[in-house]
Structure 1
């Protein structure tokens, strides 16, 4: 069996099936999407509709990737299954329908082809009761979360007969090619995320009903202090859809034993839920549920919507739970009950507590899973919440935490070495013990044993301060085989220049000499990166904005997560990109043969809206745009070593200027002034060297920042992180 999946088949073109097909296609895989034949002339209409829906919902990373999905139906096109390297079942959550589907699949697939189910509720053992032994050996559950493009969690359930080769092939494809995180689950109802997540939501709603806590009061209390997304519990019910929740709860309650604590929280059968459902208030699908819009909430005592109220609670969960306020009492009860359930069910659902934490972080958006959260609060304080603490909590106290000394607690209470995900490189671990060859307060350069350097920012969101650009300016002096710019800040490759410094030196009263020196340091620092006698590779994820995008344009190559947001927001801070972003972008457009490259560069440099990297068309042949943010560093190191084998630094550019008039006609006079300043860099007669272009940028950028209106933009953004549209 090949280790590469190039063709897949998805059976079921509903929201999940079509979403999985779109994800596979975005990962470069050809997909046969099959559903029941439709009435009428177009028997493939169900599958076609699923594809069209995903295009509208942006389920494909690029719309044209929809061409990789071939619609069909399960009567006329079952022979296509023989082409597939992986078959995904995403039909109705009905055991008879699934078993009938498996019989058809087994009759048409190539021997050894992996088959997985996207079921969210039915145990693997139940699914396979009528399956052949060969089918069982090739079968697993891969539970994707909706929407598949966005949600990174894939719960993986293997059977006792699942072949190692099948497991390895699926894991590699899901993690590397699709960019997801595989969490191993035991074969139990609801697996991990929905088992724990539904319990938490049930507890949160029931305790609120019992204690007379309003929805917005509950969502404030068990929200930001606990690292829970702003939807909170009631907002999440609205997001899911109140009409869907009863099916989820009933399925779980029917599958779980009578003594499971979940049985006490059949919250969808409460009078409150029924009242909303009877009125057709089903959440976001009906524009009203527990909440209506952003400003109203349902008042059960009045039977109608009222304005939301604001509640102030301590930011620290420990302080909140000890506050003696209604919000604190509510939060304490929800946390202690949820954590106890996690402790009591851990051995049933997972091998280690980090799998449970990962499921809640990736599936429900918690910043820290329940066990990591307990460690952060302090286990002695957590234990004090109980008359009799759960056994697993006591085991964690004895061990020194759920995550003691680089280990993780097994669900049975014994510390274990964490299982490492293949190819996931943590920069902190990579450079631990490596030689430091250059350093200041905002960045450090390490040299690994093989001579590859790693440049690591130490600023918030990897912003480029004067100290960072000065260190870049030394790049030509470092004795390296190659350099990788990488970090563990998943939110940003670099969020750009130091905004407070720009605000400080801007305006009519700003120091012109310091303003020009700051701009020049940025230009010279990135120029040194470009001229370095070794290849420089960016490991890019999160965002690459402004100066971060200009840095990216100065590298020899980059490994870029497909969903990285890239762009030039400088106009929002009263400036244009002035660290030779105009030079590098124009140079690239010329190389690519873009029609009217000066205007294309001009418009791109003034377009403040970031876009996903996958939608950018000016990456070079050496650049790699990949689906997994977790494998960016690994591949950047690999690419740097490849480029180092036969490397010649690029020659200084001399670029033709344009005589075409470039003007920014949208927005205010402030926007027009920025456009005029950028036009000074790109327009003129003949050509200009890089040094001449650098001087143009320094002078034009300094002049525009000297305007009061532009200074106001810089200061407003630095203070509020919001643009001033003056």
Structure 2
């Protein structure tokens, strides 16, 4: 039997249950969301279906209203049906996967699973999102078939955005069920899979919460402030900007405290059990309902002045009063700011000599030792623990990767000098001459395995292509420069990779693209345009090099701007009409020039589901000048059948114009498709790790089908008739103060370009006509003081200026 999940059910419509239902629906799965019948129904409501489904409806409403959005696009909610556990329980018999996300109460879960066992269809998988109650206890007394199809599937919140999914086998779970769920979670839901064991709070929370609570204890003992701790354990240590305490506010202090207490209660023999006892002030905050974001006050809170100015305040653990705070200032932080690369930044902090460095060292050292001591208790290898922390807590490096970065030998010597109890397995590893947890052997990444005392290959899905891994073998990088590289993906397919800051397009990239195209034409069969910059959501390409063009504009070198733009346009056209297939693999921020590469240069797009795509140039007083106006119009109208001759092009013109004039940015790949940036033949992939591999497959498929390059044909445009229509709309928007006078000025010129200029409606024009109009407008905009002001403001603050 081939396992498939056509329909799923989520039992429990709270924050986590709603998030899981939203992810399933966004992935195309018909989903049933169930919850209990309210206890407080009035007599006249007991027969009312709406009243009986009130709790599930509230959960679904929360899914719809939550921001950042839990659904990939609003209409995905149509795949979710709600119900209650009395009237709709029988519908579970139709489901291929049933996920339990109810209250952490053993008896309630046991009773629920007994009911499910009685109606689940043969082969249906049942899983629990619980992390604090052993799976073995939840499935006590149930039949062997149920236990064979029962496991833990522990998502992290918010479910859409957090990559980690821990898969935990029950005492009798079939291997093929585990393998299927791991593949489904990775490939269909886009998650990073960690195989955990049935231990309290599994892997991510066990290691992560120990680190957070231990840091809180040390903060009190050593007299640091909350902002100081967050400054030390933020980006300088490869952690998110939310660091520790801002992260706790986002998660909810009640949730963090529950996990800590639950872990403490369930690990009586843990050598670091005391590390899970939260400081006394945490209990006081809980009693005062200072829970973080959900109550709008936690470790931090934001006050507004009468002038609507936001004032950020932090709590004093001694008084529970909030007050403004200064930027933390430790010598180790200053040294880290000057250091190059994350490893050197970490070393600057943990090997410093000031108070902040001593704190950071003690907190980190205790967490590294704790992680090592948990193998093989919670996971078999260091890889699971590192993946859990990167995917579940958005760390750039997991504990053992961090240990490598700061130097295993040097750090162990410091640990022993400072009185830490270093695990014997670490000492044995060093004694055997192994001073790193990870190495590359014959181009293959390997990890140190405590059970064998040797290095083993890191197992990865065959669909994953790692560009850094390929580039580690110098033979695969066939051409390179400081801004870009051409990497051999095998099978005569190459990858053009940008690696500037935010992967922004500069002059060097434009020149390199021409060289890369010549090389692939002579030596290959196809090209992928993609990269794998770290972090989520990341940036495929955040646009063009504004600083370079601003420098030219300030010195009046407009002819050079025009020449650069023409070279960029020519480069895009060369890629678009190449003799071999080109597939773009965008993800995350794909703005301006990055968007133009995808919609203009590539034959096809294979996009990650988290795609924030748009032509946003009007925000800095410009318009898409690298073919964006031309190619969005082509993309919008490409799928009109030739047989349909009587088409009102204005119906296509307005959304094209609005996308550019309003700088619309999609909040997902699905929304990018709805906006017209992705076509019906473009693909969406939920797992970013698979993106380059899937794009390569698409190129190979096109080659195998006998690829023929597109023909550069004239295209039909709306013409000058569009101007009157747009003018009236802009007048209304300006009168309502929705746009500024300068926005309207820019938008009119953008409409002129997209419509083909001064030609009649439904005229056929060559692509070069619109490209010329783009260049002329682009240069003219640079001559405007308000455009220069917008660009300078963006370069200085990172935020748009409305003038």
- Is the TM value for this pair above 0.5? yes
Q: Secondary structure at the match of 1:216?
A: helix
Match for residue 634 of structure 2?
587
Give the Å deviation of 1:547.
Answer: 0.7
Match of residue 323, structure 2, among 306, 323, 332: 306
Match for residue 358 of structure 1?
387
1:408 aligns with 2:408: no
Q: Secondary structure at the match of 1:206?
A: helix
Match of residue 296, structure 2, among 287, 298, 322: 287
1:27/1:178 contact within 8 Å kept: yes
Tell me how far apart the structure 2 counterparts of residues 418 and 583 of structure 1 sit (CA, whole Å): 45
Residues 264 and 144 (structure 1 numbering): CA distance in 2 closer, same or farther, change over 3 Å?
closer
2:650/2:722 contact within 8 Å kept: no
Give the Å deviation of 1:280.
Answer: 3.2
Match of residue 505, structure 1, among 552, 564, 571: 552
Residues 488 and 344 (structure 1 numbering): CA distance in 2 closer, same or farther, change over 3 Å?
same
Match for residue 262 of structure 1?
273
1:4/1:169 contact within 8 Å kept: no
Tell me how far apart the structure 1 counterparts of residues 413 and 605 of structure 2 sit (CA, whole Å): 50
The correspondence of residues 228-239 of structure 1 with structure 2, limited to 5 A, is 228-239=239-250
Give the Å deviation of 1:531.
Answer: 0.8
1:610 aligns with 2:643: no
Tell me how far apart the structure 2 counterparts of residues 147 and 448 of structure 1 sit (CA, whole Å): 34
Tell me how far apart the structure 2 counterparts of residues 447 and 125 of structure 1 sit (CA, whole Å): 48
Match for residue 419 of structure 1?
459
Any stretches of 5+ residues in structure 2 without a counterpart? 303-310, 337-344, 641-648
Tell me how far apart the structure 1 counterparts of residues 64 and 562 of structure 2 sit (CA, whole Å): 47
Give the Å deviation of 1:390.
Answer: 2.5
The correspondence of residues 340-359 of structure 1 with structure 2, limited to 5 A, is 340-359=369-388
1:167-211 deviation line (CA, Å, top 9, x unaligned): 222112111111111111122111011111111111011111122
Match for residue 11 of structure 1?
11
1:632 aligns with 2:691: yes
1:97-118 deviation line (CA, Å, top 9, x unaligned): 1111111111111112221111
Tell me how far apart the structure 2 counterparts of residues 212 and 433 of structure 1 sit (CA, whole Å): 49
Give the Å deviation of 1:31.
Answer: 1.0
Match for residue 109 of structure 2?
98
Q: Secondary structure at the match of 2:241?
A: coil
Question: What's the TM-score once normalised by structure 2's chain length?
Answer: 0.85
Match for residue 706 of structure 2?
646
1:434/1:448 contact within 8 Å kept: no
1:614-651 deviation line (CA, Å, top 9, x unaligned): 21222222101222212211211111122221323222
1:465-485 deviation line (CA, Å, top 9, x unaligned): 223223434637714432211
Match for residue 788 of structure 2?
711
Tell me how far apart the structure 2 counterparts of residues 97 and 497 of structure 1 sit (CA, whole Å): 56
Residues 724 and 76 (structure 1 numbering): CA distance in 2 closer, same or farther, change over 3 Å?
closer
Moved more, 402-411 or 690-699: 402-411
Residues 411 and 85 (structure 1 numbering): CA distance in 2 closer, same or farther, change over 3 Å?
farther
1:44 aligns with 2:50: no
Any stretches of 5+ residues in structure 1 without a counterpart? none
Tell me how far apart the structure 2 counterparts of residues 667 and 233 of structure 1 sit (CA, whole Å): 40
Match for residue 774 of structure 2?
697
1:339 aligns with 2:368: yes
The correspondence of residues 549-588 of structure 1 with structure 2, limited to 5 A, is 549-554=595-600, 555-588=602-635
Tell me how far apart the structure 2 counterparts of residues 345 and 718 of structure 1 sit (CA, whole Å): 46
Match for residue 158 of structure 2?
147
Give the Å deviation of 1:47.
Answer: 2.1
Tell me how far apart the structure 2 counterparts of residues 548 and 183 of structure 1 sit (CA, whole Å): 33
2:204/2:385 contact within 8 Å kept: yes
1:143-181 deviation line (CA, Å, top 9, x unaligned): 011121111111111135222221222112111111111
1:350/1:411 contact within 8 Å kept: no
1:336/1:385 contact within 8 Å kept: no
1:412-451 deviation line (CA, Å, top 9, x unaligned): 4542211113422113445757677765553333555533
Match of residue 588, structure 2, among 526, 542, 545: 542
Cα-Cα RMSD: 2.3
Moved more, 191-200 or 668-677: 668-677
Match for residue 655 of structure 2?
600
The correspondence of residues 201-280 of structure 1 with structure 2, limited to 5 A, is 201-267=212-278, 270-280=279-289
